[in-house]
Amino acid sequence: MKNPFHIMLVPTLGCPARCSYCWSSESTSPVMSIDTVRDTVAWLKDFRSDRLTITFHGGEPLLAGKEFYEAALPLLSQGLEHLRPEFAMQSNLWLMTPLFAQLLAHYHIPIGTSIDGPADLNDRQRGKGYFDRTMRGAEIATANGLQVRFICTFTSASVQQKEEIFRFFLEHGFTMKLHPALPSLRDGGAQEWTLEPDAYGDLLVYLLDQSLEHIGRIEIMNISDLVRCVFTRRGTVCTFADCMGNTFAIGPDGSIYPCYRFIGMPAYVMGNVADKPTKEDLAHSPAGMLMARFKEYVDTSCQKCTHIRYCRGGCPYNAIVPTYGKIEGVDPYCTAYKRIFGEISDRFNREMQESAEMSVPRFGYGQQKNPKPSMMMLMHRIILR
Ligand code: SF4
Ligand code: SF4
């Protein structure tokens, strides 16, 4: 299970790639200083006492350079030893070298990297040459002991080739994590690539079908998370949990934000690591109060929804994009969430009813030689992973 307490550390917003739908890179961004890392350690030391995950995010985090990580990683891992920090990184891997990979492997840092499907499709969205550079980086990373997972962004254009994209992941034996291309408060240019809620709902149902049809041959992490949410009846990823107060992002200058998606927007700065703000200080900042208001809004607006316990209104950032920062609705992907949560619950209930009627052994296992793939089989696999 993931640690609820999550810090996203953004050493720079710079990035050498130019993806069409990216809203988070800034070519003139500074790189975080080691003094800011020291301030971060000093701030986090007494901030909370539960287990911590630190994800290096960007921009492109490798752009900060190997020397940055040679200094930062010992500071973070030793200075926060009592929180038993686990690290992760999201990187396009273009700047990966064997020595860089060995350093990150020493700290057991799993890497998430973006590939949107086969080379031509990927490079249409992410720029010529992107696919080869990332794959080369992934080879170097895995050859030097790092675990690499591929994140696939589905846009309004690429979703029309979902079958081809799925086949690419299946045939390469890649675990798939998907992201819908999302609109942003920062860049209106991302809008034309945005995946519409209905298309996202259709995509999730398609991927649920594929997960069942190819049980044991591919993991689609979002489907695993959604199934886990329904079965445990609680949100197990940030979108479906109350992220406020559990997730923070730290920008290159030490500014603290509610999440990396707010980085670079002064209106959402909650404080700075140099000032060692308390939980209460952050909660009383305008951004902290905005996040708390979203939670209250969801309690009222979603109260009749059968999925509220494990959806929690979706992502607060998504919710405030259409209204330029005001809380006037829940996450616009509500229709997609309702659709997939409903589909998972209905299929499971149907199976339970059928198995009761036919007195088939529990969970569809046992007497049948080649049992039809079922939600319970999928659930078992997810639990056993
Ligand atoms: S604002 Fe959205 S993306 Fe950010 S932590 Fe919360 S749910 Fe996750
Ligand atoms: S599915 Fe929609 S109505 Fe239900 S909890 Fe999620 S956002 Fe709210």
Query: Strand locations in the chain, DSSP E?
Result: 5-9, 52-56, 86-90, 111-114, 148-154, 176-180, 247-250, 255-257, 271-272
pLDDT over 60 at 68, yes or no? yes
Mean pLDDT score of the chain, rounded to an integer?
91
Looking up tokens 């720079």, which residue turns up? 12
Q: Is the peptide bond before 59 cis (omega within 30 degrees of 0)?
A: yes
SS3 22: coil
Question: Where do the DSSP E strands lie in 181-290?
Answer: 247-250, 255-257, 271-272
Structure confidence by residue, pLDDT tens digits, 185-211: 876 556 788 999 999 999 999 999 999
Q: What is the CA radius of gyration of the chain?
A: 21
Q: Is 261 in the pocket of ligand 1 (CB under 6 A)?
A: yes
Q: What percent of the chain has pLDDT over 90?
A: 79
Q: Which atom of ligand 1 is nearest to the CA of 317?
A: 1
Helix (H, G, I), strand (E, B) or coil at 111: strand
297 vs 16 pLDDT, higher one: 297
Helix, strand, coil shares, percent, the chain, to 5? 50, 10, 40
pLDDT for 134: 97
Is residue 294's pLDDT more than 90? yes
Query: What's the rounded Cα separation, in Å, for the pair 252 and 264?
Result: 9
Cα(323)–Cα(306) distance, integer angstroms: 26
Neighbours of 76 (CB within 10 A): 25
Count CB atoms within 10 A of the CB of residue 353: 10
Strand, coil or helix: what is 151? Answer: strand
Q: What is the pTM for the complete model shown?
A: 0.91
Q: Which atom of ligand 2 is nearest to the CA of 334?
A: 2
- pLDDT per residue over 87-141, tens digit each? 999 999 999 999 999 999 999 999 999 999 999 999 998 889 999 999 999 999 9
Does residue 181 contact residue 21 with C-beta atoms inside 8 Å?
Answer: yes
Specify the pLDDT at position 157: 93
Task: Answer whether 309 contacts ligand 2 (Cβ < 6 A).
Answer: no
192 CB-near residues (< 8 Å, 6+ apart): 156
Q: 69: CA distance to ligand 1 center in Å?
A: 25
Ligand sitting nearest the alpha carbon of 302: 2
320 close to ligand 1 (CB < 6 Angstrom): no
Handedness of CA 362, 368, 374, 380 (dihedral sign): positive
Residue 17 confidence class, pLDDT cut points 50, 70, 90 = confident
List Cα–Cα distances, 103 to 14, 66, 95, 98, in angstroms.
Answer: 22, 8, 14, 9
Distance CA 323, CA 307 (A): 24
pLDDT at 364 over 70: no
Atom of ligand 1 nearest to the CA of 241: 7
How far, in Å, is the centroid of ligand 2 from the Cα of 194? 20
Per the model's pLDDT, the better-predicted residue between 372 and 58 turns out to be 58
- Whether the CB-CB separation of 87 and 72 falls below 8 Å is answered with no
Give the position of tokens 């997960």.
Answer: 211
Q: What is the mean pLDDT of residues 335-347?
A: 96
pLDDT tens digits along 36-45: 999 999 999 9
Read off the pLDDT band of 23 (50, 70, 90).
Answer: low
Query: What is the predicted pLDDT for the residue at 18?
Result: 75
Contact status, residue 169 vs residue 114, Cβ threshold 8 Å: no
Residue-wise pLDDT for 221-275, tens only, equals 999 999 999 999 999 899 999 999 999 999 999 999 999 999 989 999 999 999 9
**Per-residue confidence (pLDDT) for residue 70, from 0 to 100:** 98
Nearest of 74, 287, 38, 301 to residue 185 by alpha carbon: 287
DSSP state string for 73-93 = HHHHHHHTGGG--EEEEE---
Is the distance from CB of 258 to CB of 283 less than 8 angstroms?
no
What is the Å distance from ligand 1's center to 346 Cα?
Answer: 27
Cβ of 112 closer than 6 Å to ligand 2, yes or no, is: no
Q: Are 254 and 244 in contact (CB under 8 A)?
A: no
Ligand 1 lined by 88 (C-beta under 6 Å): no
Instruction: Tell the residue nearest (CA) to atom 4 of ligand 1.
Output: 259
Q: How far is the CA of 228 from the centre of ligand 1 (A)?
A: 18
